[in-house]
Structure 1
Amino acid sequence: MTSPRAYLDHNATSPVRPEVAAAVARALALPGNPSSVHAEGRAARAALERARVQVGGLVGVGSGRVVFTSGGTEAANTVLSGALRRSGEPAPTRLVIGATEHACVSAGHRFPAEHVDVVPVDASGIIDLAALAACLDRHRGEGVLVSIHAANNETGVIQPLAEVVALARGHGRALVHSDAVQAVGKIPLDFSGLGLDALTLSGHKFAAPRGVGALVLAEGVTLDSAFLRGGGQEGRLRGGTENLSGLVGMGVAAEMVGLGETQEALRDTIEAGLRALAPDLVVFGEAAPRLPNTVSFSIPGLDAPTALMALDLAGVALSSGSACASGKVARSPVLAAMGVSPALAAGALRVSLGWNSTISDGTRCLAACERLVDTLYRRRGQAA
């Protein structure tokens, strides 16, 4: 009999909850288009608007501030298209981002390169607030869009958004967006309390279906034009018939979110177990506030692609902190920005827990890692 696998890659995608899958199935049976005025259309519209209320509740806003999208990347690209503005003001002409932003921000914007400033982070991955303040001072009088993620997808490091917003408000003409894809569903996020102008999220990170997300806009903040044109859906900000079944699923997932207390205990257990196995293990961002479900680590001499294959064969699904493309491993921009050496970054692995992670998953992960470490240390001994 095949043993169950340990899926510990929730920061990539968190498996859909059974209750969410059931809600999706029910929504698939609704025949109407949410924009139609007949009874079937009204039923579909009611289901869509209920999902909007549920998703808004997850980040502390009313449903009228929520614009549905196909996911976090589309939502972030929309914010960074150059169209975001406060009512009555021109759109920002300059973009300021953190050095560890996800590619949907760092490569997803539409600002000319000469109008983009990248703010460094410290060795823990925390944004350099003094450098951010200096950057905003240099561009006083200009319209600025600041985009700093709520938490990093690789390391789980949580950014000081309240301080970022305070600096932006001191500038006077700065808007603040946060890519909150990794934070939503893992830690409490109060959009209004933080004073953000825009926030983006993705459903499949908190056990909703893939292919749905949302853009949240503050009161008085809007877009000059729709990112997707051709229809009046989503307050004329995102044309196209909504993915009703997926969005209904995201609404249910939003209502079922826990705040990760159990995940943090399991994460700490796994992290302690890894340290016991490998005394020279390095945990990235260990001195910073981190998501309760994430531990990113490396052991000197470990090769991440080889380790991931061995772990997979042992029934454990993890991710690497390095980006793989066409069979080649590139150094993680996140770890590079944190000053991690290329050799250490080449072995970066990430454990990310979720709603269905268990102690047994952690035990299986540690057992598989023990075999990896034994092999690595044995090779070191032979080389010596």
Structure 2
Amino acid sequence: MIYLDANATTPLLPEVLDAMLPWLREGFHNPNASYRGAKEARRAIEEAREKVAALIGARAEEIVFMGGGTESTNSVLKWLARLVGRKSGRVITSAIEHSAVLKPCETFGEVGYPLARVGVDAGGRLNVDEFQAACEAAREGGGFASIMWANNETGVIQPVDEACAIAKENGLAFHTDAIQAVGKIPVNVGEVPVDFLSLSAHKFHGPKGVGALYIRSGCRFEPMLRGGGQEKDRRSGTENTAGIVGLGKAAELAMERLLKKESPVALRNAFEAKIVGELEGVTVNGDLLHRLPGTSHLSFTGCEAAGLLILLDDLGVACSAGSACMTGKQQPSHVQKAMGFSDAKAKSSLRFGFSCLTTMEEAMAAAEAVKKSVEKLRRVQGGSTGPVVVYSP
């Protein structure tokens, strides 16, 4: 199997598994107890906290371990909603956010919060002018904004630095869902002074079920989960020592790759070049100047993505038609609709995600499989093709 769905999840690196195993076996102790084994587990957790903090340019005490990206985003958004209050507090987000952000925000709107969902351009980038207007409208009554760092479907990197500055100018708290960005591109909370940031281990070769929330020093925060007071009373529940150690190791390895400027961008570019060069009616979607190095989002005229996924799976290529959280749903992606896609184009789109484990041989073999699958489906469906269309900002 050639795995090209790294936006959905990434394989656990051998080094990460090796780091975790001792804490699944002999290091099983509760890190909150007082005996030697427990203290060793606590030490391992704090070392992992330092590694995660280093990956995003934070301080260790600003990192709170969570059960994943969804818990991280929900925890901070629900706290901010309580903080600003629904009588006057405005909630500002974008039309292309992950459902872990959109659904809580929609719930806030249902119970009376003024909610603004800012649009994007044809390349999938935030409309900064519209965002500024929404922030200015919220200035008097207060509120908060949540804008993703990079989109999970298209890989398009958002102008988070501009959005954060605008929010701060208008006195609004700012959260970013950086789950697709952390570990893949440089993310530094010293350079982009967000108040809160969510990340998840399994997006950069760590284990599933563990993530973190960055809380800038000085920012108020009250937990969604209360209990034994772990994580300095910011997230109760006995810590997942093995998972946290795995997150720390994955963060350490990601930092090494970033410092060496290693990325799958060459594989992605070669993959796209072969497909676009040998097939008609292909669109490379999203802002080509601002996207994750390992994400390719393509549309194929005259084909339905559902059929292509079956053919590609038969040929040993794993990819997706969009967010893994939306698999099985028949309606076009809200991300693609926000970018102005027609229903036909949205339903003909596939997402390919490359990781640090992908090889050039796999990328080329996958491109050949895509070519064969598209040609076969077009013959079967009698689909017509148009000229190659590549979005360029």
TM-score normalized with structure 1 length: 0.93
Pairing 1:64-83 to 2, within 5 Å after superposition = 64-83=61-80
Per-residue deviation, 1:378:
3.3
Per-residue deviation, 1:27:
1.6
Mapped partners of 1:324, 1:150: distance in 2: 18
Instruction: Tell me what 1:361 maps to.
Output: 362
Partner of 1:13: helix, strand, or coil?
coil
Query: Which letter maps to 2:209?
Result: G
Instruction: Tell me what 1:289 maps to.
Output: 290
- Which of 8, 14, 19 is the matching residue for 1:18? 14
Per-residue deviation, 1:279:
2.7
Mapped partners of 1:381, 1:199: distance in 2: 47
Mapped partners of 1:207, 1:44: distance in 2: 22
In the alignment, structure 1 residue 136 sits paired with structure 2 residue 135: yes
Instruction: Tell me what 1:40 maps to.
Output: 37
- Which of 156, 174, 185 is the matching residue for 1:187? 185
Per-residue deviation, 1:325:
6.5
Instruction: Tell me what 2:97 maps to.
Output: 101
Tell me, yes or no, if the aligned pair for 1:168 and 1:176 is still in contact at 8 Å: yes
Instruction: Tell me what 2:391 maps to.
Output: none
Mapped partners of 1:37, 1:248: distance in 2: 20
Instruction: Tell me what 2:314 maps to.
Output: 313
Query: Which letter maps to 1:26?
Result: P
Give a deviation string over 1:237-282, Cα, whole Å, max 9, x none: 1110011101101100100012364400000000111101223211
Mapped partners of 2:60, 2:82: distance in 1: 20
Structure 2 alignment gaps of length 5 or more: 386-393
In the alignment, structure 1 residue 251 sits paired with structure 2 residue 248: yes
Kindly report the root-mean-square deviation, in angstroms, between the aligned alpha carbons of the 2 structures: 2.2
TM-score normalized with structure 2 length: 0.91
Tell me, yes or no, if the aligned pair for 2:285 and 2:297 is still in contact at 8 Å: yes
Tell me, yes or no, if the aligned pair for 1:321 and 1:345 is still in contact at 8 Å: no
Mapped partners of 1:163, 1:319: distance in 2: 31
Instruction: Tell me what 2:172 maps to.
Output: 174
Change (3 A) 1:253 1:199: same
Change (3 A) 1:118 1:275: same
Instruction: Tell me what 1:280 maps to.
Output: 281
Structure 1 alignment gaps of length 5 or more: none
Instruction: Tell me what 1:162 maps to.
Output: 161
Change (3 A) 1:7 1:165: same
Partner of 2:22: helix, strand, or coil?
helix
Tell me, yes or no, if the aligned pair for 2:308 and 2:377 is still in contact at 8 Å: no
Instruction: Tell me what 1:111 maps to.
Output: 108
Partner of 2:330: helix, strand, or coil?
strand
Query: Which letter maps to 2:279?
Result: A
Partner of 1:112: helix, strand, or coil?
helix
Instruction: Tell me what 2:335 maps to.
Output: 334
